[in-house]
Amino acid sequence: MTSRDQALAAIVDAFVPAHDGLPSASQLGVHRRILAEVDALNRPSLRQQLDLLLRVADSGLGNLLLSGRLRAVSAMGQEAREAWLRSLGDSPIALKRTAFQDLKRLTLLLTYGIEDSPWRARTGFVPPDPDAPSPSDVRVRTPRAGEVVEADVAVIGSGAGGGVAAGVLAAAGRRVVVLERAAMVTEAGFGGPELDGLAALFLDRGLSATTDRWIAIRAGSAVGGGTVVNWSSSLRAPAAVRDEWRAAGVGDDLDEHYDAIEAALGVTIAESERNGPNAKLAVGLEALGLPWQLIPRNVQGCGDCGPCAVGCRRGAKQSVLRTFLADACSNGAEILDRSEAVRVLVENGRAAGVVARVPGGEITVRAPQVALAGGSILSPVVLLRSGIATDTAGRTLHMHPVAAIAGVYDEPLSPWSGVPQSVMSDAFGEAEGAWGFRIEAAPTHPGLIASGFPWWDSAGHREVMAQCDRVAAFLGIVRDRTVGRISIARDGGTSIQYAPGAPERELLRRASLELARVHHAAGARQIIPLVTPPHAWRDGEPFDPWLDGLARRSISANRILLFSAHQMSSCRIGTDPRSSVADPDGQVHGTPGLWVTDASAMPTASGVNPMLSLMALARRTATRMAAASSSAGAGRS
């Protein structure tokens, strides 16, 4: 075993030592899995950073500089290694806190996420019996390197925006080719093991994060995109947000597109049943006199299985796989998987197609219209690589930073079963004018619970993980006004630079306090904010002084765990080319024929789960694309 491997094995065992007949993390092979996961990201800089940290940690002199301890981490005993980890986690130096959180999240995600891990079984998790898969009516092929494909429209991305654009334009008689960077996974591959689903259906294998790793990012990367893995919440943008969008040129004509999308997806509250965590959320809100509502969802025939976040095997979730992409295929569209758009072709000042990377080389799709729908993280990268909108693309990223508070209750809640998200409160949605936070519940599975829960010593983390079946996680989803930036990193990867500004930090603080109050009112016996060092409350302790202590905790990088499943506005629509990428119709300023049809086009943050709004906006843009191509004589006769 190399020095690097020895150091990593010692570190993962500090987080999860052998106990009561259960193996240590290294005995499960977690240290090797971490290296494999980092390598699979194909980001050399990340592997170099990890190797450097491990070399320093396993050198006496290096560790002296890192932690003040003149001893290699692999030579320490268990207590010393746990103290070493705490020194990193509570360091005033942000890079040390980042290192701690990276190691902690990966170790615990894998230890409790490995399907046959005895630590996973100890949480009380029982995987659902798999339903018989219900296949969607989509046709997908992987192209051969060197192909040249002719089309009327090339659609980059097959998610909520790309799927809608493909469906609308194929129905209008256009020859549509959809380029999807991910490999096709059918319903037979949905709903399976947690780690397999993260690797196959999410951006960066579910490990995507901001450059400082403060905010964990959940973004779908699959044929069907985020609609395959989201929690089915289908909400229209609030009135205050719509007012902002009108100023950007998106008026009341969006309503007809909302209506059409809701009809196509079968959006209702008829199947918004309350599972354990959602029921507790409703109880706590009612006890505090706060309003709440059932969340409309795009499902038909939803059951009580639970693994919605890794795809709906039974096909109840009305993703674009089962709606717009299926319709597009029935109208002659072609979906090419494992085809990552590299750049948009521009000839004589107009879009002329797309060059895409495929196994073994590249292909070219020649088309007079291009719909950019790679998602708010990847769409600006395509523009930047193409030399298009370089002054604006990626510079106005919104992300809805989310704070989570867990509560442990007396009775089993099975947080991994049933409808993942069905209760929401708008009580604080406009706490500061058009800005505030929405309260929702979240489904949880052992690996993600373990990686999110605070770790301050192995015994404490082990104790709380044994109570997973009685955990409810409540979310405070903040509508942000501070923007981040997407750019191309030195190693060629995507750099996501985003930090909540002062307004967002105060809303995150307030959201954390309100979530704790809701848990307390709902009867939680323990309340666990996701902060480092931990700050948990237990039944019998004075609540108000504890809450005051939570209010004083720092909202800073890797002292509080944040995540975001809503990325928006990085190629936004607007009237001014100096501050927006596309015009009010969705066509990129200065590049006729190139249109933005995903969440990156949103003028500002939606304030609620964005799927429905981005699909309505994509339909609006696609109808304009169809009209533009018709007037120009494009399309089949």
Encode pLDDT of 430-441 as tens digits.
Answer: 999 999 999 999
DSSP 243-268: HHHHHTT--TTHHHHHHHHHHHHT-B
Quote the longest CA-to-CA distance of the chain: 77
- Asked, for residue 134, whether it belongs to a domain, the answer is no
Model pLDDT, residue 636: 40
Element (H, E) at 85: helix 78-89
**Contact yes or no for 353/366 (Cβ under 8 A):** yes
Do 382 and 427 lie in a common domain?
no
- Asked, for residue 580, whether it belongs to a domain, the answer is yes
Encode pLDDT of 263-320 as tens digits.
Answer: 999 999 999 999 999 999 999 999 999 999 999 999 999 877 878 899 999 999 999 9
pLDDT at 637 over 60: no
For residues 535 and 529, give the distance between their C-alpha atoms in angstroms, rounded to a whole number: 7
Summarize the confidence of residues 440-460 as an average pLDDT: 96
The letter for the amino acid at 284 is G
Sheet of strand 361-366, all strands in order from the earlier edge strand to the far edge: 148-150, 361-366, 350-358, 340-347
Angle between helices 276-287 and 502-522 (to 10 degrees): 90
- The closest alpha carbon to 355, from 604, 145, 120, 74, belongs to 145
Q: Indicate the DSSP class of residue 457.
A: S
CA distances from 234 to 158, 183, 297, 308, 421 (A): 19, 26, 5, 15, 11
- Asked, for residue 191, whether it belongs to a domain, the answer is no
Task: List phi, psi (to 5°) of 501.
Answer: -80, -175
For residues 441 and 486, give the distance between their C-alpha atoms in angstroms, rounded to a whole number: 29
pLDDT at 131 over 90: no
Model pLDDT, residue 632: 66
Which CATH number fits the domain that encloses residue 355? 3.50.50.60
- Residue length of the chain: 637
The letter for the amino acid at 97 is R
Query: Taking the mean position of all CA atoms in its chain, how far away is CA 301?
Result: 25
Do 419 and 536 lie in a common domain?
yes
The residue from 564, 581, 604 where one domain ends is: 564
**Contact yes or no for 318/302 (Cβ under 8 A):** no
Encode pLDDT of 497-524 as tens digits.
Answer: 999 999 999 999 999 999 999 999 999 9
Rounded to the nearest integer, the mean pLDDT of the chain is 95
Do 415 and 523 lie in a common domain?
yes
Overall number of domains in the chain: 3
Domain hosting 546: range is: 402-564
Model pLDDT, residue 634: 46
Do 485 and 593 lie in a common domain?
no
Encode pLDDT of 565-609 as tens digits.
Answer: 999 999 999 999 999 999 999 999 999 999 999 999 999 999 999
Query: Taking the mean position of all CA atoms in its chain, how far away is CA 328?
Result: 26
Do 491 and 525 lie in a common domain?
yes
Summarize the confidence of residues 537-549 as an average pLDDT: 98
- Asked, for residue 206, whether it belongs to a domain, the answer is no
Summarize the confidence of residues 249-260 as an average pLDDT: 95
Model pLDDT, residue 570: 98
Using CA atoms of 357, 339, 387, 214 in order, give the dihedral in degrees to the nearest 10: -100
Residue 74, sorted as left (phi over 0), alpha (psi -120 to 50) or beta, turns out to be: alpha
Summarize the confidence of residues 76-84 as an average pLDDT: 95
For residues 567 and 483, give the distance between their C-alpha atoms in angstroms, rounded to a whole number: 11
The residue from 517, 542, 564 where one domain ends is: 564
- Asked, for residue 395, whether it belongs to a domain, the answer is no
Do 95 and 19 lie in a common domain?
yes
Whose tokens are 């339903």? That residue is 131
- Any idea which of 131-140, 147-156, 421-430 has the lowest mean pLDDT? 131-140
Model pLDDT, residue 130: 78
Do 161 and 299 lie in a common domain?
yes
Do 409 and 490 lie in a common domain?
yes
Do 416 and 551 lie in a common domain?
yes
Q: Which two tokens stand for residue 181?
A: 């960077």
pTM, whole model, 2 decimals? 0.95
- Asked, for residue 87, whether it belongs to a domain, the answer is yes
pLDDT at 324 over 50: yes
Q: Which two tokens stand for residue 71?
A: 């001893």
Whose tokens are 């104790």? That residue is 463
**Contact yes or no for 436/288 (Cβ under 8 A):** no
**Contact yes or no for 582/572 (Cβ under 8 A):** yes
- Any idea which of 104-113, 484-493, 628-637 has the lowest mean pLDDT? 628-637
For residues 161 and 166, give the distance between their C-alpha atoms in angstroms, rounded to a whole number: 9
pLDDT level of residue 407 (50, 70, 90 thresholds): very high
On the question of a cis peptide bond just before residue 359, with omega within 30 degrees of 0, the verdict is no
pLDDT level of residue 62 (50, 70, 90 thresholds): confident
Do 598 and 549 lie in a common domain?
no
Summarize the confidence of residues 383-391 as an average pLDDT: 98
Whose tokens are 């309350």? That residue is 274
Buried residues in 36-72 as b, exposed as e (16+ CB within 10 A): ebbeeeebeebeebbeebbebbbbeebbeebbebeeb
Do 80 and 155 lie in a common domain?
no
Do 596 and 485 lie in a common domain?
no
The residue from 564, 599, 619 where one domain ends is: 564
Let me know the angle formed at the C-alpha of 164 by 399 and 436, rounded to the nearest 5 degrees: 25
Return the percentage of the chain with pLDDT > 90, whole number: 89
Let me know the angle formed at the C-alpha of 333 by 329 and 334, rounded to the nearest 5 degrees: 100
Using CA atoms of 584, 590, 592, 594 in order, give the dihedral in degrees to the nearest 10: -70
Model pLDDT, residue 307: 86
Whose tokens are 């289908």? That residue is 234
Element (H, E) at 594: strand 594-596
Model pLDDT, residue 635: 44
- Given CA atoms 203, 295, 568, 152 in this order, what sign does their dihedral have? positive
- Asked, for residue 394, whether it belongs to a domain, the answer is no
- Asked, for residue 73, whether it belongs to a domain, the answer is yes
**Contact yes or no for 44/61 (Cβ under 8 A):** no
